[in-house]
C-alpha cells in the first residue's frame, strides 16, 4: 500500500469503529448517532453552542442538525434559547436529563481512543497528534 492508501484505509476503519461504538452507546439511550454527536459536541466544546457551530465544525448537514436538535429538545436532553442580540441565532444548552447518555457516550469515546492508541508510547501519541493538527491545517488552507 502507498501512503495515501494507508491514510484513506485508516480513516475509513476509524470511522467504522467510532460509529459502531458511539452508535451502540447511543442506542442504549434511544438516540441516533447524529443526536449523540451533537450531545458530545456540546459537551466537548463549551464555547460553541449553536446549530451553526455544529454544522461548521463537525460538518454535519444542516437538515440533520436541525431535526436532531428538535428531537433532543423534545427528549429534554437540551434547551434552546434565542440569542439576546440576534433572534435568528439559537443557543443550545445540555440538561441534567442528558447526563446519563453523555456518561456512556464519553466512555465510548474514551474506549475508542484507548483501542486505537494501545501499544503506542505517549511520545508517539504526541507526534501523531501534532501531525494530525498539521494535516488538518493543510486541508483547511486548501478548502
For 88-141, what is each residue's pLDDT tens digit? 889 999 999 999 999 999 999 999 999 999 999 999 999 999 999 999 999 989
Task: Give the Cα separation of 9 and 3 in Å (integer).
Answer: 10
Average pLDDT over residues 33-62: 95
Whole-prediction pTM value? 0.88
Return the H-helix or E-strand segment holding 82: strand 78-82
Is 94 in contact with 40 (CB distance < 8 Å)? no
How much is the pLDDT for 87?
A: 85
CA dihedral (84, 43, 60, 69) positive or negative: negative
Question: Around Cβ 86, how many Cβ atoms within 10 Å?
Answer: 8
Confidence label for 55 from pLDDT (cuts 50, 70 and 90): very high
pLDDT band at residue 67 using 50, 70 and 90 as cut-offs:
very high
Query: What pLDDT sits at residue 2?
Result: 78
Distances (CA, A) of 7 to 1, 107, 130: 10, 26, 16
Least-confidence region, from 2-6, 68-72, 138-142: 2-6
Which residues have C-beta within 8 Å of that of residue 139, sequence separation ≥ 6? none
For the chain, the domains span: 1-139
- Which pLDDT score, from 0 to 100, does residue 1 have? 57
The architecture that CATH gives domain 1-139 is Orthogonal Bundle (1.10)
Is the pLDDT at 23 greater than 90? The verdict is: yes
Amino acid at each position: 500500500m502507498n501512503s495515501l492508501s494507508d491514510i484513506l484505509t485508516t480513516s475509513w476503519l476509524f470511522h467504522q469503529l467510532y460509529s459502531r461504538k458511539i452508535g451502540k452507546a447511543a442506542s442504549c439511550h434511544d438516540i441516533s448517532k447524529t443526536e449523540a454527536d451533537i450531545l458530545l459536541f456540546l459537551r466537548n466544546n463549551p464555547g460553541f453552542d449553536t446549530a451553526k457551530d455544529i454544522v461548521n465544525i463537525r460538518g454535519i448537514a444542516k437538515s440533520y442538525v436541525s431535526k436532531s436538535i428538535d428531537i433532543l429538545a423534545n427528549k429534554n436532553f437540551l434547551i434552546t434559547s434565542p440569542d439576546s442580540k440576534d433572534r435568528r441565532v439559537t443557543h443550545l444548552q445540555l440538561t441534567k436529563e442528558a447526563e446519563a447518555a453523555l456518561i456512556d457516550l464519553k466512555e465510548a469515546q474514551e474506549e475508542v481512543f484507548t483501542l486505537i492508541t494501545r501499544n503506542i508510547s505517549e511520545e508517539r501519541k504526541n507526534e501523531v497528534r501534532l501531525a494530525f493538527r498539521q494535516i488538518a491545517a493543510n486541508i483547511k488552507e486548501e478548502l
